Chains A and B, each alone.
Chain A
Amino acid sequence: MTSLSAKDKEAVKTFWAKVSSKATDIGADALGRMLVVYPQTKTYFSHWKDLSPGSAPVKKHGQTVMGGVADAVSKIDNLTAGLLNLSELHAFTLRVDPANFKILSHNILVVLATMFPNDFTPEVHVAMDKFLAALALALSEKYR
């Protein structure tokens, strides 16, 4: 859609600095929620023993995913170049339908709202929404 303005990037970096210490919890909660609220996403994890929120595989994978988001924050000035390898991974190996990026983004935003109700203002919300959308776009780069 629209590219990130300097103001958006500032808002993302400032907010991320506040919440990054909770990255693992955020990732685990968002992933767990996604599997419950959007059951079709479970198809990508049929090899896991336990898909319930708070389970070990969900926690571990939530941490992996948020690690990617943290990395993206540091590469916010050129997401397409910065996320090239991750895009190839998602496109050729994992083959995640890109529609799911939007679903996970929504759940990340919901978790941020529950965990940081006072900091997750509408202004921060729009910056994070744009950032996650830009991240998803960069991840989709290598698909076709």
Chain B
Amino acid sequence: MVEWTEQERSIITSIFGNLDYNDVGPKALSRCLIVYPWTQRYFASFGNLYNAEAIKTNPNIAAHGTKATYAELSVLHSEKLHVDPDNFKLLADCLTIVIAAKMGSAFSPEVQATFQKFLAVVVSALGRQYH
């Protein structure tokens, strides 16, 4: 069971409290598709992903980046989508970069450590239902 200090909880709450999901979600997802192009294989039905410009302006990517449902996400990713769990880490890294760019110097080493710990837990949870 993961342990969280009061300080870590407050850092995470503060980051997500100030987050514009409609901005950060699509940015992180499109960054992931550009920096790690093999991840595009999971979005073949989304239309034009041929270059960075197309990815950044693709409306399906923008919409997908903002989905916030958590019901059986892990089962969905393994049973239906067959996403290689390594990809969760790639998206987590892109999300870290996007949040870092947004927060600038406020993204201190301590905040980075807490945020990465949180994402590692999410990534682990998403991978748990695979077999």
Contacts and interface: CB of A to CB of B under 8 A. Distances in A.
A126 B102 contact: no
24 contacts: A32-B109, A33-B112, A36-B110, A36-B112, A36-B113, A53-B109, A110-B100, A110-B107, A110-B112, A113-B101, A114-B101, A114-B103, A114-B104, A114-B105, A114-B107, A115-B104, A117-B102, A117-B104, A120-B97, A122-B34, A122-B56, A125-B31, A125-B35, A126-B34
Q: What are the 7 tightest A-B residue pairs by CB atom distance, in nearest-first order?
A: A36-B109, A117-B101, A122-B34, A113-B100, A113-B101, A37-B113, A126-B35
Interface string A109-144: 111011101001011011001000000000000000
Main SS class of interface, B? helix
A57 to B, nearest CB: 16
A111 B104 CA distance: 9
Interface of B: 30-31, 34-35, 52, 56, 93, 96-98, 100-105, 107-110, 112-113, 116
Interface in A31-48: 32-33, 35-37
Given A113-B97, A114-B101, A117-B101, A122 B52 contact: yes
B109 A114 contact: no
